[in-house]
Amino acid sequence: MPKNILQDIVKIKMVKLPPSRNIFPQKDLPEKKPERKPKPFRALWLVALISIIFLFFALSYLFSSAVITINPKTKDFILDKTLTATKDKNGNGLSYDLVVLSGEESKEVSGGPEQDYLESATGTVLIYNAFSPKAQSLSQDTRLEGSNGKIYKTKTKIIIPGMEKNGTPGKTEVDIYGEKAGEDYNSPPLDFKIFGFKGTSKYSKIYARSVGDITGGLKGKSSQVSDTDKVKITKELSDTLFAKLFEKAKNQTPASFALLKNAAFLNIDQENINPAPTPDSFIVDLKGTFNGILFNKEELTKEVINESLAQENSTDTTTNTPNTTDTTNPDVYVSNIEDLSISSFDKSLITLGGMQDVTFNLSGTAKLVWKIDADKLMADLLGRDKSDFNQVLAQYSNVDSASFEIKPVWRNSFPDKSARVKVIINYPK
């Protein structure tokens, strides 16, 4: 008989487990890592960083510094005053001294088109007076008849001293030139008679003899420097020479003296035009003497300040209020004393050694500047809070404006040591 397969199936009873129990492990869930404790060296780095920051701030305060910039009080006023100065004066008043320098300047220039040129022969003669013990006068361009038969003329008026008691003729020297230009008047030494005395007793008693040869007479054609170019070149050389000698004089002037702009001039002593080695060229040579007036700076400054005070008259006449500009303060000076101009004086008198007084007009815009005691200002600010700066500055009436810079920027007070404070005063130049 066939077997029944269903009879071999065993029925299994299902048992429900409590929710908290699970006999099957959950392998897909991540494992929980254990907590890491902070490492000790991180705390050490934090402490070191804080220490470095503290040290930085401590050092920045230790090496702090300050720069104070001050603009002093100034005042401009128009000056126009007549003054008198005395040479080498000792005591009160304005004194002056002189500076005298000589120099030479030359330039090679090209000549113009060929033209006629004429040069008169020149020389020097001694004129004798054997006629009378009284002096004899001869006018300029007195004609002298030479032993060569030619006529020469005196360049200046002269007076011939009288004959001495022992019979020695009086004599004087004078320059002469040929009546006509040309080489014909060049000559070795000559004897002369006064042409105008012909037919009189003076003709043989007043006579002349040349000192050396008579030379320089020329006549012909050649390239010449035109009169227009000559004037232009002379002015150029004169300006150049004056500028050089003025600079040289300023460099030699003592610090206590001032050489003003218009207190100097140049006298032209000699001007020559000679042929240059280059064909149709000439060397223009100019020699001159520089004369300058030196004023004592302190004395001149006092005159300027006194004039300023006189102008204000200690009271503002428009508001009738007292003048607060204390120009009598010795700490006031004139910064541009050498830029003032002088005029209205006789320049020709400067070269006379015996001149004592010179009167002139002093004009220009004078700049008065008040000095500041930098050391005292620094001492007043040492260790003070920077908020006190304006309060301290208010005590200095000679300060126009000021500013400061403190390092490090977060510091609230000035350093307490003067070595760490720098005061800059912007005095006008």
DSSP states along 351-381: T-TT--EEEEEEEEEEEEEE---HHHHHHHH
Amino acid 315: pLDDT: 47
pTM value is: 0.59
- The residues that bridge with 407 in the sheet, in sequence order, are 65
**Which tens digits make up the pLDDT trace of 7-41?**
444 454 554 545 555 544 555 555 555 555 555 66
pLDDT band at residue 416 under the 50/70/90 scheme: confident
Pairing mode of beta strands 332-334, 321-322:
unpaired
**Which tens digits make up the pLDDT trace of 142-158?**
999 999 999 999 999 99
Amino acid 107: pLDDT: 92
Which amino acid, one-letter code, is at 109?
V
Ordered DSSP codes for 303-354? HHHHHHHHHHTTEETTTTEE----TT-TTEEETTGGG-EEESS-HHHHT-TT
- Residues in the chain, how many? 429
Provide the mean pLDDT of the chain: 83
Residues 342, 352: Cα–Cα separation, whole Å: 19
In angstroms, what CA-CA distances link 114 with 222, 271, 272, 280?
5, 22, 19, 9
Please give the share of the chain, as a percent, with pLDDT higher than 90. 49
**Which tens digits make up the pLDDT trace of 43-101?**
666 666 676 665 555 555 567 889 999 999 999 989 999 998 887 666 677 888 889 99
Element (H, E) at 250: helix 227-252
Amino acid 371: pLDDT: 93
pLDDT band at residue 407 under the 50/70/90 scheme: confident
pLDDT at 275 over 70: yes
Residues 266, 245: Cα–Cα separation, whole Å: 9
3-state secondary structure of 70: strand
Residue from 212, 205, 90 nearest 136 by CA: 205
pLDDT band at residue 329 under the 50/70/90 scheme: low
Residue from 374, 103, 358, 417 nearest 248 by CA: 103
In which residue are the tokens 């000056």 written?
79
- The residues that bridge with 334 in the sheet, in sequence order, are 368
pLDDT at 287 over 50: yes
